[in-house]
Structure 1
Amino acid sequence: MRPLRYSINITLDGCCHHEAGLAPDEESMRYWTAEMQRADALLFGRVTYEMMESAWRKPAAGAWPDWMTERDLPFAESIDRAKKYVVSSTLSEVDWNAELVRSDLARAVQQLKHEPGKGLWVGGVTLPRALADLGLIDEYEFLVQPVVAGHGPTLLAGLRERIQLELIGRHDFRSGAVALRYRPTRSRA
């Protein structure tokens, strides 16, 4: 069974708004590119899908936008070509190498996890909370930024039950950020 990994940037006070932390640098872009490549497919809610598509989809003209630097290209290419599943009750269709998931979330994700492969990756805020409540996340990865945001959406706000985690990995960045990787200590699914 392939694992479902939840990865997100957060601030020291738990804010997980995509603009609250440090701007990506070369080291963090290499790290996130490697994380994308550990997954066979990406799982997004509508908001995250639309945000990622607007930033990382290769334009139809075939050339990446001028704002992208050499350090951004490997990440952009990885996420652009990745298989994506989009959980949404409001979208009528998706593209960008994506498939719409409308059925029972727990059953649909269990089916995806039972397919062969290296793993699934989920990002965002709302969908991961629902998946955590269902006990479907096998690994949590938080890239903790050395910033206190003081406001914004917080990590997994509104969880129904506490989830006990065991530290299984750590990576320190020159910027002062720290990637912490955890797995649940007990099976919930």
Structure 2
Amino acid sequence: MRPLRYSINVTLDGCVDHRVGTPDEESHRYWAASLERADALLFGRVTYEMMEAAWRQPATGTWPDWMDDGDIAFAGKIDKAKKYVVSSTLDQVDWNAELVQGDLGNAVQQLKAEPGEGLFVGGVTLPLALADLGLIDEYEFVVQPVLAGHGPTLLAGLSERLELKLMGRHEFRSGAVALTYQPGR
């Protein structure tokens, strides 16, 4: 059974708005390496559309000038990855993706039952539902040294307290810290 890992950038005050505490080249390289542990990505509609707009390789085959080496490494991994999209409003997806429909718990259990290294989930709403269902096997938070003071917060609305066990940490030159946890089941 492949594990489901929730990975996201978060500020010191819990904000998970992608426009706050923007990762640098070093953290993009870290995320690209982390994606090596995933056979596929699991997104809700909003995250899928946001990631596609930012990281899908242009039809020209040339990455935009604004991207540095870390961005390109990360974009390349995201662009090529198999994606599953949970949505009740989309009729179709492309970008190496397929829709996940029906009962969320059953659908994700089926994805986890497939052989492989793992599934990564990102975003805000879908991970909350998956955490409530007890389906997330690993939580990876890259805590950015920023106080946002606003925005959506990490797992806001979780139905029950979730005890986590620290499994690893990685410090970045920027002062960010990646923390990896497993549920204390």
Question: Scaled by the length of structure 2, what TM-score is found?
Answer: 0.98
The alignment status of 1:156 with 2:178, answered yes or no, reads no
Q: CA deviation at 1:62?
A: 1.6
d(CA) in 1 for partners of 2:155 and 2:103?
Answer: 21
User: What is the correspondence of 1:55-74 to structure 2 with a 5 Å cutoff?
Assistant: 55-74=54-73
RMSD: 0.8
2:164 match: 165
Q: CA deviation at 1:26?
A: 2.2
1:174 match: 173
User: What is the correspondence of 1:70-85 to structure 2 with a 5 Å cutoff?
Assistant: 70-85=69-84
d(CA) in 1 for partners of 2:114 and 2:50?
Answer: 27
Q: Which moved more, 1:7-16 or 1:66-75?
A: 66-75
2:13 match: 13
Q: CA deviation at 1:60?
A: 1.5
User: What is the correspondence of 1:39-58 to structure 2 with a 5 Å cutoff?
Assistant: 39-58=38-57
Q: CA deviation at 1:25?
A: 2.0
d(CA) in 2 for partners of 1:140 and 1:153?
Answer: 18
d(CA) in 2 for partners of 1:66 and 1:147?
Answer: 27
d(CA) in 1 for partners of 2:153 and 2:26?
Answer: 25
Show structure 1 runs of 5+ residues with no match: none
1:98 match: 97
How many residues are aligned here?
185
Q: Secondary structure at the match of 1:151?
A: coil
Q: CA deviation at 1:158?
A: 0.5
Show structure 2 runs of 5+ residues with no match: none
Question: Scaled by the length of structure 1, what TM-score is found?
Answer: 0.96
d(CA) in 2 for partners of 1:94 and 1:173?
Answer: 35
User: What is the correspondence of 1:63-142 to structure 2 with a 5 Å cutoff?
Assistant: 63-142=62-141
Q: Secondary structure at the match of 1:71?
A: helix
d(CA) in 1 for partners of 2:182 and 2:118?
Answer: 14
2:144 match: 145
Identity of aligned residues (%): 76
